[in-house]
Copies of this chain bind each other. A is one copy, B any other.
Amino acid sequence: MIQSQPYQYRFGSEPLHGIVKSLNLPIQFEYVQEICIFEQLIKLVEISEKLENYSKYFTNSINKLEQLKPFYQTIQSSFHQGVDKKNEIYEHCHNIQNYIIQNQFKYLEHEKLLSVSDLLLVELLEIVNNMYPNILYNQYQILYQFLAKVLSNNVLQNYYFNVDFMMKDFSPNIKNAQNILKGIIQTNLPTFHDFAQCQGILYRYKEDGKQFPDNCPVSLFPLYINYDIINDIKKKTILQQKVVAKMGMDFEWYTGILGRLAKHDEFIRRMISIQAKVEKSQTKCPYTICIVRNDFLHHASLNQWMQVEYNCIAISFGFISDRVQKYHSLLFDSYYKQIRENYKVKVKQDLNHDIMVDALHKAYELYNNKNAIVLIITAEFEGNIYDQRYIEKGLAKLGILSKRTTFLRLIGNITSENGILRAFGQEVALVYFRTGYTFDQYENEECWSIREMIELSKALKCPSLNTQLVNFKKLQQILLDETQIQKFLNKDEAKLISENYCKIWGFDHEDQHEKLIEMIQQNPHDYVLKPQREGGGNNYYDDQIIPELLKLTPEQRTEFIVMERIKPIPRIGFMMRRGQLDIQAVISEISVIGYFINEGENILVNEVGGYLVRTKRYLDNEGGVAAGYAVVDSFMVADS
């Protein structure tokens, strides 16, 4: 007998439990699936009128549903006659299931669009998938592929991942668990808001010229995952960091690749020009330190957490993430106690974002002067300042003092003599960059001179320019080429890491542009067009891609890459921004945070620690927490 497993919060087993409980049916769990199918039918009939609006997307008319109505009515009436009819109900349920699978699925294989009953099948499959996450994927590959494909259809998503639809009660008597949760949250929202602040989940806002803290955008209910995923992506992040560390050592190699971009990109050009001086310098710092965040998103059709990108500079929300985990754990101990107990889930409590402090601490010690400071270069206004302050606090607890400043404020206040960097009169052991990763963050020539002065000094840099350079997406794309990744890893390692890589295409060879554009034109929803620069934003999706590409000259196209678009299946998300609740269909990105330290060609340290879950509206393409789209989240696992 297969045991029920809780899934992402849209628990497939919710109505089953509900029905079993409310009817006092003395039945085995394996039968419940059928009842659930029945319940889904009721729901579908209820919403059939709404479906008419969507009929253009379905091959058959709404009449298809009519064909199912007799089954449905028979079941409904027998169901209402009491529990002694249950064998009859099950039989009918089986009949429906067989009918759907035999008649509909076969049909679907030959058509591109969906019938209403296909939609019904999707519902059924999603329930099965929620109940037995791996069984469908492992044993019914064709059904799983169908489900993932349908759920990642953009048009259908607008209907299916609609909050009203997802929040609908299963029947007047059987509530959707989401609504129970919604009730708990709405009743206690002021408490949850204050608790978040008490827990240190803070963000700085600007309004009417004033600055004040409020809660950092936060999820009120964690993601459900299998913990093996974390162990897996941690292992792969160690490898990824090894690759980044080694890439950064090979100036010839990466400038060879970035060289062409540099022609059209002043940012890359300037960075390479500074790094060229560093390479020749006699007084440069022998150490490279880099804090890395490796981002993963669930690709439903492969049932795999795919690497979205790695980031080598200004990794944020690590400490807030720690606090969110404690916060969710608190809610599970109290206001969500029933959910925790009913579904046997718990919030995993194993974060270690002190790894960011560890990284800076180890780097600081390599400089070997207890009187020197850590110089932190930030933007003038940082909404996420508390997350940064937690790092400063961590260093302070170790007796290491930091000085926060901006590039502009350093003008006239920074010197370098014989490699000794001094800022505001104090010797600098380590420069930690939380800005400087886009061209406009260097507001004038003096800012560039300061970056150069820093890079040429003996102070350690997190990151140093060479690791910042190998962060470019162009190089992330290169790694997809097996011969390239094997420059940095052995064959087994290369194979392991590549499992989680998306496909990426570049515009290096003009003769292939046409073919690439054609490929995108066929399924624009399956790709994303990204600029090579860092910092998020400015991506093109769906119908934006082709017009943008056609606007660009072949030369300009080389500044972009096209990436396979990762398509996760959304869940209902409860997000809180400044005390306001926002319920949406959401997806979650999981990131692993780690760091490495090199001394010349040797990797001295390569470790991973904390992770970060960011959850964003499914239908928004951009997803920054700072930009107001995403929230910081955590996850829950089975409590076995």
Contact of A194 among B195, B335, B386 (CB under 8 A): B386
For A342, the chain B residues whose CB sits under 8 A away are none
Contact B330 A393 (CB under 8 A): yes
Contact of A404 among B191, B212, B392 (CB under 8 A): B191
Contact B334 A397 (CB under 8 A): yes
A200 adjacent to chain B (CB < 8 Å): yes
Contact of A399 among B190, B197, B198, B337 (CB under 8 A): B337
Minimal beta-carbon separation of A317 from chain B (angstroms): 14
A401 adjacent to chain B (CB < 8 Å): yes
A172–B191 alpha-carbon span in the complex (Å): 55
Minimal beta-carbon separation of A413 from chain B (angstroms): 13
A191–B378 alpha-carbon span in the complex (Å): 14
For A330, the chain B residues whose CB sits under 8 A away are 393, 396-397
A385 adjacent to chain B (CB < 8 Å): yes
Minimal beta-carbon separation of A94 from chain B (angstroms): 40
Contact A334 B396 (CB under 8 A): yes
Contact of A334 among B191, B208, B399 (CB under 8 A): B399
Contact A396 B333 (CB under 8 A): yes
Residue-wise, chain A 507-545 has the 8 Å CB interface mask toward B (1 for contact) of: 000000000000000000000000000000000000000
A244 adjacent to chain B (CB < 8 Å): no
A43–B179 alpha-carbon span in the complex (Å): 74
> Residue of B at shortest CB range from A400?
B334
Contact A392/B191 with A214-B212, A330-B397 known, Cβ cut-off 8 Å: yes
For A396, the chain B residues whose CB sits under 8 A away are 195, 330-331, 333-335
A190–B195 alpha-carbon span in the complex (Å): 24
For A191, the chain B residues whose CB sits under 8 A away are 389, 392, 402, 404
A11–B585 alpha-carbon span in the complex (Å): 61
A190–B194 alpha-carbon span in the complex (Å): 23
A353–B198 alpha-carbon span in the complex (Å): 15
For A402, the chain B residues whose CB sits under 8 A away are 191
A470 adjacent to chain B (CB < 8 Å): no
For A200, the chain B residues whose CB sits under 8 A away are 198-200
Contact B202 A389 (CB under 8 A): no
Copy count, this protein chain: 2
Minimal beta-carbon separation of A482 from chain B (angstroms): 46
Chain B CB within 10 Å, residue with most, of A194, A208, A213, A333: A194
Minimal beta-carbon separation of A243 from chain B (angstroms): 35
Contact of A213 among B190, B212, B337 (CB under 8 A): B212
Residue-wise, chain A 391-414 has the 8 Å CB interface mask toward B (1 for contact) of: 011011111111010000000000
Name the prevailing secondary structure of the A interface residues. helix
A390 adjacent to chain B (CB < 8 Å): yes
Contact A335/B213 with A200-B198, A386-B197, A393-B195 known, Cβ cut-off 8 Å: no
For A331, the chain B residues whose CB sits under 8 A away are 396
Contact B198 A389 (CB under 8 A): yes
A398–B332 alpha-carbon span in the complex (Å): 11
A117–B40 alpha-carbon span in the complex (Å): 95
Chain B CB within 10 Å, residue with most, of A197, A330, A385: A197
A393–B197 alpha-carbon span in the complex (Å): 12
Contact A389 B212 (CB under 8 A): no
> Residue of B at shortest CB range from A204?
B194
Contact B198 A397 (CB under 8 A): no
For A212, the chain B residues whose CB sits under 8 A away are 212-214
A393–B330 alpha-carbon span in the complex (Å): 8
A337–B333 alpha-carbon span in the complex (Å): 39
For A214, the chain B residues whose CB sits under 8 A away are 212-213
Minimal beta-carbon separation of A400 from chain B (angstroms): 7
Contact of A389 among B194, B337, B400, B404 (CB under 8 A): B194
A160–B468 alpha-carbon span in the complex (Å): 58
Chain A residues numbered 604-628 whose CB sits less than 8 Å from any CB in chain B = none
Residue-wise, chain A 180-191 has the 8 Å CB interface mask toward B (1 for contact) of: 000000000011
A213–B395 alpha-carbon span in the complex (Å): 25
A392–B199 alpha-carbon span in the complex (Å): 12
Chain A residues numbered 315-341 whose CB sits less than 8 Å from any CB in chain B = 330-331, 333-335, 337
> Residue of B at shortest CB range from A387?
B198
A404–B192 alpha-carbon span in the complex (Å): 12
Contact B195 A389 (CB under 8 A): yes
Contact A198 B333 (CB under 8 A): no
Contact B335 A198 (CB under 8 A): no
A392–B190 alpha-carbon span in the complex (Å): 12
Minimal beta-carbon separation of A276 from chain B (angstroms): 37
A441–B385 alpha-carbon span in the complex (Å): 39
Contact A194/B334 with A212-B212, A212-B213 known, Cβ cut-off 8 Å: no
Contact B334 A401 (CB under 8 A): yes
Chain B CB within 10 Å, residue with most, of A199, A333, A389, A402: A389
Contact A213 B195 (CB under 8 A): no
Contact B393 A198 (CB under 8 A): yes
Residue-wise, chain A 261-272 has the 8 Å CB interface mask toward B (1 for contact) of: 000000000000
For A333, the chain B residues whose CB sits under 8 A away are 396-399
A–B Cβ pairs within 8 angstroms, 10 of them: A194-B385, A195-B392, A197-B213, A198-B200, A198-B386, A198-B390, A199-B200, A213-B213, A330-B397, A333-B398
Top 5 A-B pairs, shortest CB-CB distance = A334-B396, A212-B212, A194-B389, A198-B389, A333-B397
Q: A: which residues have CB within 8 A of B?
A: 190-191, 194-195, 197-200, 202, 208, 212-214, 330-331, 333-335, 337, 385-386, 389-390, 392-393, 395-402, 404
Give 8 A-B pairs besides A191-B402, A191-B404, A334-B401 with Cβ atoms closer than 8 angstroms: A194-B389, A198-B202, A199-B393, A212-B212, A330-B393, A333-B396, A334-B395, A334-B396
